Amino acid sequence: MPLYKICLLGDGGVGKTSLRERFLGKGFQSGYILTIGADFAVQNLTIKDIQYKFQIWDLAGQQRFSAVRALYYKGSHGAILVFDQTRLDSLYSLDNWKKELFTNVGREIPFIILGNKSDLPGAIDQEQIEQFVKKSQSETQDIPFDIKYLKTSAKSGLNVTQAFEQLGLTIGDYIEEYKRLHT
C-alpha cells in the first residue's frame, strides 16, 4: 500500500484543520483550537482500486511557528495549499508557503491549491484565482504536472475527498515519471 506524507499549508484560520477533520470523517465543527506546531493523522483511501495511506501533517499557519514547521516538511511527497475564499491576502501568501515547502523539502514536489470556505459569501474574484494558479504553474518548472485548483467547503464537504484523491493521483504520476527518468 503506497504511503504518502502530505502537508496541509496555509495561513492561520483558512480551514486546514477543518478540511482534515472532514476528510477523516469527523464532520465539521465551527470552532477549532489553534494548531500549535503541527498535528498529525492517518487516513486510508482507495483511488482507482488502489489502497493508499495518507499521513497528513496539518502545519500551524501563524508566522510564530515557522521555525518549528521546518521539521515537519522532511520526507513529504506532496502538499495541499489552502486559502480562504473570502480573504485575498490568504491567496497571495501561498507564494510564501510554496517557497517554505520547497526549501524545507529540498526540491519541488506536487501540490494542489484549495479555495476553502466556498460556502461563505464574499468570495474572491475567480479571475484573480485563475491568474494566481497560472502564475504558480509557470514558476514551478521541475514538476511535470498541471497544478490543480478546487473550491472546497469543510462545512458542506464539497470537494474535500476529491482534493486528496487528486493529490494522490498526482503524486503517483510524479513518482512514476521520476522513476522513468532516473532508471
Reported as a single tens digit per residue, the pLDDT across 16-47 is 999 999 999 886 555 555 455 567 899 999 99
Instruction: Tell whether the torsion through CA atoms of 137, 139, 143 and 144 is positive or negative.
Output: positive
**What ranges do the domains of the chain cover?**
3-181
Strand-strand pairing, 50-59 and 38-47? antiparallel
How far is Cα 142 from Cα 178, in angstroms, rounded to an integer? Answer: 11
pLDDT score, position 21: 92
How far is Cα 98 from Cα 27, in angstroms, rounded to an integer? Answer: 28
123-144 average pLDDT score: 88
CATH number, span 3-181: 3.40.50.300
Give the global pTM: 0.91
- Helices 16-23/160-181 angle, 10° precision: 90
Residues 6+ apart with CB under 8 A from 76: 5, 6, 7, 57, 101, 105, 109
111-128 average pLDDT score: 93
pLDDT score, position 115: 97
Residue 55 near residue 6 (C-beta atoms within 8 A): yes
pLDDT score, position 31: 56
The closest alpha carbon to 9, from 19, 24, 23, belongs to: 19
pLDDT score, position 67: 64
Q: What percent of the chain has pLDDT over 70?
A: 89
List for the chain the helix, strand, coil content (%; round to 5): 40, 25, 35
pLDDT band at 122 (very low <50, low <70, confident <90, very high): confident
